[in-house]
Chains A and B, each alone.
Chain A
Amino acid sequence: MGLTYIPPIDPRGQLAPGQVFCVNSRNGSDSGNHGKSWDRAMATVDAAVNLCTANTNDTILVAPEHTETITADSGIDIDQAGVSVIGLRNGKTMPTLVFQGAATADCKLAAAGVSIHNFKFHSNLDATTGVVEVSGTDCALIDCEYQDTTDTATDGIMLIDGADRCLIDGLRYFGGAAVGTNAAIAVDGADDLEIRNSYIYGNFAVGAIDFRTTASSRVNLHNLKIWTANSADIAVVDTITASTGFIGPNLQIMLTDDAANITTAVTGATFQFFDPIYICNAAGEKAMLTNITASTHA
């Protein structure tokens, strides 16, 4: 993308309007601390969210070594509009959320304009049903990482109907090689969604990115590497049908079976496609461009 003028550290050293809260599981506490310095940090992200005020640009900074176990639905509920939860990152060290104890354990982006940056999500239980759930409009998931650490998730990230204009940028998704997963990203009616600059690996019985339940309009998927180890051999699929949008350019897809699956690697009769969309379906081969029918001047 183009130039980005985002200097929230203004000349007086203020980050921006709004409060800043700190979270650090190593030495923070949710009892008695105000969260406004690292010395008095909160221990959990949800406790810090509860200190925030909607639409005041409150920001939560999370220490790189922060580790938090999420055991329930809405274990973290970012339900204050406009709150940003930012993991501080040193190389590959970034805050880690471990989901276990219940298949429904998740972190919710449940208000408009919230964002989460630089987090690792570890699914530490079989058949989790979306450890990240986005239901607010204009939310963003930036430079985060997902990993199946125990068995395989059923779905990795869920976008609920109404999560319009969501941005997923820089996601690295390391799913399990074994079967058990439907989709890395399941999208239920998220209009104007953009997914870009991401790498997705797993064994996806439905598709790495699955548009389901409610059609999504004008989606934009580009600059993605997707590798599915499932014999369904599908990277992107519009299960619900009637979803629309740009697919491509710069998609690189790896399939499992050396079969007649190039055309259906992206399945959606109402999508439109922009090359290069490269697909490779066998080791020792190089990719070919998708063989979806090309438009004609007629």
Chain B
Amino acid sequence: MSWVEKLNNMNPVAQDVALGDRILTASVQTPGNAYFVDSTNGVDDPDFNGTSWTEAKATIDEAVNLCTADNGDIIYVAPFHAEDLAADSAVDIDVAGVTIIGIKIGRQMPTLTATVIAGDLKLAAANTTIANLRFLGGVDATTGCIEVSAADCTVVGCEYRDSTDQATDILITTAAADRLLIDDFRVIGASVGGSASAIALVGADDTVIRNCKIYGNFSVGAIDFRTTLSARVKIHDCDIWTENAADVAIVDTITSSTGQIGPRINIVLQDDADNIQTAVTGATFHIVGDVQVVNAVNEKSIPITWTESAEV
């Protein structure tokens, strides 16, 4: 629920919010400490303790360094915040349990731009979360501007866009990223070739990918299970559109990954060819529910043509 909806649902309190003088005094109880990041007005200086917008830090990593592990600490990031990912681990969320929340209103949200190939934000400690952050690929061939390398992490409400050429991969994991949740992730990749995948999972057991919209030109597949098999994954409620002649949306490159694909996955392929079945490629996956594929303009989708289960 957005804060606008919350305001709307606060009746009769909303009357006071609207007409009284308490508009800035509503509060939300949270455990732990709150820190604030604002690249425009903040400063990464010890004199700025990061505990209010007026004392905000200038970079997310500086705010992470203030956090205490497993303390419920939250970092709020201003919607106009802009920060470059100019090195590997430029933002290293290495404190367990930290949540980073971009303030998002409408379509405005904080922006992190990868300016070197290895530039990234890492979710490197357990139970860390990022929400409402926009990532831009500012150089060609970035190799994963979001890297998840710890268990029970969450990426929610985030967006990626190729602004210069195209990423090789966008969100990648290590084999430690079990129980990862990727929710409401929007990828607007480039239409030209150069990308391998949007999401590359390496041994991320029990990962859930849902409510995502992924567009790009993926030579391997929009979602690629590689290097180490991932067990019991779930992918559902996603739109995936690939412009690549490989015509693959989801692929278990490593083989032997398992999990439930569907329901409510809509796939657009590039070529009007015998590619409906292989739009999802993984011999040890199960297709459950509606997985629709369309492979030509001015056509409507059909259910993926995998063999149906039979009562035998």
Contact = CB atoms under 8 A, between A and B. Distances in A.
Interface residues of B, number: 79
A183 interface: no
A272 B4 contact: no
B309 interface: no
B211 interface: yes
Contact of B298 (A249, A292, A298): A292
Given A38-B23, A277-B300, A142 B293 contact: no
A100 B131 CA distance: 42
A286 interface: no
A82 B297 contact: no
Interface in A113-140: 113-118, 138-140
A61 B276 CA distance: 49
Given A13-B25, A38-B18, A294-B299, A3 B156 contact: yes
A115 B107 contact: yes
A298 B273 contact: yes
A269 B4 contact: no
Given A16-B103, A55-B80, A63-B18, A249 B302 contact: no
B307 interface: no
Interface string A53-77: 0011101010110000000000000
DSSP majority for the A interface?
loop
Interface stretch (B27-35, B143-151, B197-205): B27-35
A290 to B, nearest CB: 6
Contacts of A138: 106-108
Contacts of B277: 297
Contact of A9 (B15, B27, B131): B27
B210 interface: yes
A271 B298 contact: yes
A218 interface: yes
Given A3-B183, A14-B24, A275 B156 contact: no
Nearest to A269: B298
Contact of A274 (B107, B129, B292, B298): B292
Contact of A5 (B11, B56, B131, B300): B131
B245 to A, nearest CB: 16
A297 B305 contact: yes
A10 B28 contact: yes
Given A2-B210, A9-B28, A139 B2 contact: no
A295 interface: yes
B275 interface: yes
Interface string B183-226: 11000100000000000000000000011010100000000000
A272 B35 CA distance: 45
A296 B18 contact: no
B273 A38 contact: no
B34 A5 contact: no
A246 B239 contact: yes
Interface in A242-298: 244, 246, 248-249, 268-275, 277, 290, 292-298
A38 B21 contact: yes
Contact of B4 (A10, A12, A118): A118
B33 to A, nearest CB: 9
A192 B4 CA distance: 24
9 contacts: A2-B210, A10-B28, A15-B3, A20-B23, A20-B24, A84-B108, A139-B107, A140-B106, A140-B107
Interface of B: 1-4, 6-8, 11, 14-15, 17-21, 23-30, 34, 36, 38, 40-41, 52-53, 56, 76, 78-80, 99, 101, 103-108, 129, 131-132, 156-157, 183-184, 188, 210-211, 213, 215, 237, 239, 241, 264, 266, 268, 272-277, 292-302, 305
Given A8-B103, A12-B27, 20 more contacts: A6-B105, A7-B3, A9-B28, A10-B76, A17-B53, A61-B18, A61-B23, A63-B19, A86-B4, A113-B80, A117-B106, A118-B4, A139-B107, A167-B107, A248-B266, A271-B297, A272-B300, A292-B298, A294-B301, A297-B276
